[in-house]
Chains A and B, each alone.
Chain A
Amino acid sequence: MNAQEFQTWRTEAAQKLALRLAGREQAPLIDADVIQHTREVLVCLGGSCISCGGAHIADCFRDRISAHGLHANVRMVQVGCIGCCDLGVVVQIMPDEVLYRRVTEADVDRIVTTHLQDGDIVEDLLHQSEVGGHRYQRAADMPFFKHQVKIVLENSGIIDPENIDEYVARQGYDALATALLTKSPNDVLADIKASGLRGRGGGGFPAGLKWAMLADAPGNSKHVICNADEGDPGAFMDRAVLEGDPHRVLEGMMLAGYATGAAHGVIYVRAEYPLAIQRLQLAIDQAHARGLLGDQIFATEFCFDIEIRVGAGAFVCGEETALIASIEGKRGHPVPRPPYPTQSGLYREPSMINNVETFANVPPIVRNGSDWYRQYGTEKSPGTKVFALAGAINNSGLVELPMGTTLRQVVFDIGGGVPNGHAFKAAQTGGPSGGCIPAAHLDVPLEFDTLQELGSIMGSGGLIVLDDSSCMVDVARFFMEFCVEESCGKCPPCRVGTVQMLHMLKKICDGEAAPDQMERLEGLADVVSSASLCGLGITAPNPVLSTMRHFREEYLAHIRDHRCPAGVCPKLLTFTILEDRCTGCSLCARNCPVEVIHKFDDRKQYWIDTEPCIHCGNCFEVCRFEAVHKE
């Protein structure tokens, strides 16, 4: 494909997407008559919507549209994640931009007849605000979307990820064409450096610096590797990008290849994401068919090819050197650095690893320039960050926000606060390598450096909200358990240290800790983080240290008073039966593994003999009358 052909393709593709682009910047002109009479039904097929039956809803729409004879003017399009994952299945009607949520099979016919046929809105399927019950017609009006700035996710939920034309219509491969035809590799490198883009995988290492290291490395055979092994529990933004806009990642990798002199790309994607693997492979095939991958791209000297490698479920493989070992078919053991991958990486040749979101930022930067990019975010952390909002929060899902947005805005303005009348307790960022931010720091701007100061890290962007029903010692124990299982076992500080730390945390949870347990835990944490070989061990103590720092009282309550204030740690709870609620159904007694629940001799109610009770909580779980009380 040459520049001329690309231009023609682009114009035609944009025309086909005109309906969805109406009213947006650089939208092709479109007849008012067409806007009046044609409609597109975008059905979200992101991970959450698929599990709510999205594929079936899409079929239903196709079916009903033709059954009502509307197929000439109405088209159903399957799109990637729209973002509001708790509202699935989400359907958006274009160009009206009306968003329907929790659409079921029964609703499809109503939408088709009422909206698509008669042009009226189906009120009860619109999203309703938690407070006041206001119904939002357009997605853009919902608080969840209103504050977002979409750069990485600009196409997700708008285009069909399986159709390369739709990506091209949204200025896809524009950056690549401009770079190859009008810029030198150094220009592209300079763009990335000037943009201040920092690696979105966790550490925040400046991408431009890393690219320059690969560009400067000697040798003709170099590799660009995309880390799509999104292993942090609670993080799903890379998945959305891969499934919703796969070409963006390919284009980012190609630009990196051009800037650094690499001709080979590998995407290392986790096996838990079969749909992402499938869509990436399709995208690679399509790019090949169009001549965008392979030899002499845009009739220049630049050649580039990309292959997929599927991981096999090991968290440590997110670490650079372990990831390389895994691509080479070996156990994912990290090796000491230096040499850095940019010196000796994949097949012992210079390699550079960036995360999915980092690559996804590249095309818009090259297309619009670094000044444009720097208008978003902060001085030290420019651009946006995609957060996966989950846990005890009303609106969960994917949000893309300028760096520096405060935690309070994220949790309350966008996330809609904590549900079921509970209070916000902490936000966990950075997964097992990160930490917890307490309510006192709700006004912290979210960017790489500020989070680090609080003892957490940005991580890949998982943001899990904890309410007052969560015990922070238990949360620390949960993450330590994770690190114990995922430690690769190569270096003793991590292999042995994490097990010992877990042991200590369990003792605290069980109320059996010695008075000086916290000091000993801190001492060991220091050893583990300073003596471990790779990032996994170095950051493993973070969740413990950050909870000890911000929730010291809660630790002390466990150790000193043998009390779990949140009512989570079972060994520290006392179970009693509230006599006025007990109906004498005997369910608790039958489920008690140690048979310590007895019936009163003179009445139908039951009582618990607390002395031999093992605090398993079975009685609390099974009681249908909320008669079992724990404290």
Chain B
Amino acid sequence: MKKYQQMIESVSRSGATAAASEHSIFEELNVTIDHFDRSPLALIQILHRAQELFGYLRDDVVQYISRELRIPVSKVHGVIGFYGFFSRIPRGKHTITVCTGTACYVRGAVRLLRGIEKQLEIESGDTTTDGRYSLRCARCVGACGIAPVLVIDDDVHGDVASKRVKNLIRQYK
């Protein structure tokens, strides 16, 4: 039952797993599917695992899950589309998340977001053309005490003034 721990670790290892063979990634996915006895009730948990393993929910992976759990592929896509956490397009190497929760909003999150959009020349939800950065907004990351908050990959940066952002982002290459 160290599943969730693995889940968390696998996110940070995502660069390394990409190099591993397709086959073994599907094998890893199978472990999770078997763990839940192929139950359709575990669809969301399995999608979580798939997204960590593959980086995003590729069409063939979605079809595979649909077959294994015996859920129509339309329904699987219905679930994927409903939840903001799932993505059907590849993410950049680094994900930059700007928290736009109330506390961050009050302390200038929008200004922060606009600044990053300008720096990276993309809008929230997009990925830079070189595939290096994806930019998205979060509802609230629960670190309101140090608003405004910026999350790059797994690192939370608090009290981010617009001026510091440029250098901060450049540290992630």
Contacts and interface: CB of A to CB of B under 8 A. Distances in A.
Given A50-B156, A281-B5, A235 B146 contact: no
B141 A390 contact: no
B3 A313 contact: no
Given A232-B140, A236-B142, A239-B142, A391 B147 contact: yes
Contacts of B85: 271, 311-313
B144 interface: yes
6 contacts: A51-B143, A231-B139, A233-B105, A313-B83, A329-B40, A391-B107
A196 interface: no
Contact of A428 (B44, B102, B138, B146): B102
Contact of A390 (B11, B39, B82, B147): B147
> Looking at chain A, what size class is its interface with the partner chain?
35 or more
Given A86-B145, A466-B106, A47 B5 contact: no
Given A236-B143, A391-B102, A466-B106, A331 B48 contact: no
B48 A271 contact: yes
A509 B32 CA distance: 49
A52 B145 contact: no
Contact of A464 (B1, B79, B102): B102
Interface of B: 1-5, 7-8, 11, 39-45, 47-48, 78-79, 82-86, 100-103, 105-107, 111, 138-147, 149, 154-158, 162
Contacts of B41: 327-329, 347
B4 A230 contact: no
Given A312-B84, A621-B111, A462 B102 contact: yes
Contacts of A396: 103, 144-147
Nearest to A331: B82
B59 to A, nearest CB: 19
B84 A235 contact: no
Given A52-B158, A392-B107, A312 B47 contact: yes
B43 A329 contact: yes
A278 B139 contact: no
A314 B4 contact: no
Contacts of A326: 44
Contacts of B1: 281, 284-285
B145 A313 contact: no
- Which of A52, A327, A330, A478 has the most chain B CB atoms inside 10 A of its CB? A330
Contacts of B40: 329
Contacts of A284: 1
Contacts of A233: 100-103, 105, 139-140
B144 A277 contact: no
Given A231-B139, A233-B100, 7 more contacts: A236-B143, A272-B140, A278-B5, A313-B83, A390-B102, A396-B103, A488-B82
Nearest to B158: A51
B44 to A, nearest CB: 5
A213 to B, nearest CB: 24
Contacts of B83: 311-314, 332
Contacts of B145: 48, 85-86, 88, 236, 388-390, 396-398
B48 A310 contact: yes
A120 to B, nearest CB: 30
B142 A312 contact: no
Interface in A38-61: 47-48, 50-52
B102 A478 contact: yes
A110 interface: no
A509 to B, nearest CB: 13
Nearest to B111: A621
Contacts of B44: 309-312, 326, 329
Interface string A442-467: 00000000000000000000101010
- Which of B102, B146, B149, B154 has the most chain A CB atoms inside 10 A of its CB? B102
Interface string A404-440: 0000000000000000000000001001000000000
Contacts of A231: 139-140
Contacts of B102: 233-234, 390-391, 428, 431, 462, 464, 478-479
